[in-house]
Amino acid sequence: MTFEFPAKGDRGPVTLHWYSGTERIPRPPELEPERSDIEIGAAVIGDKGTITYGSHGASGARLIPETKMKAYKRPEKTLPRVKEHHQDWLNAIRAGRKAGSDFSYGGPLTELALLGIMSTKMGGMKLEWDAAKMKFMNCPQANRHLNPPYRSGWKL
């Protein structure tokens, strides 16, 4: 799947290619020949280099090739680190604070995943999503799936 995000503030446009199931992440050209292909996780390819990382919390994040990683100076850690999201959520409830991945982060991430599922459901059609209006601008058929009626006996 391909997601296209328009420029926002000082950030230019972003294109995200999502590979899942039988589709494999293409091998970045900067990845050293002796390194294994990316089996799980991501490759973030920018105009100044490539970062690879594993799944669930971007474990093992590194610049490639290794020469760039060795030359990189890590910044001081200023954000709190979360090792286990479920426990962080429970601790946030007990302490009356926001969780590390509260709805302001998790909501848009889930929305992105669901948009990809909807595109698959629509046969891979290019869908134009208006997040503010919470609807597809070019596919009334997809909009019919957004708020299905509750089953008899259930309500919100």
pLDDT, position 57: 63
Higher-confidence residue of 47 and 142: namely 142
Whether pLDDT at 39 is above 70 = yes
Q: How confident is the model at residue 66 (pLDDT cuts 50, 70, 90)?
A: very high
Quick one: tokens of 95? Answer: 């302490």
The answer to whether 91 touches 79, Cβ cutoff 8 Å, is no
Q: What rounded mean pLDDT belongs to the chain?
A: 90
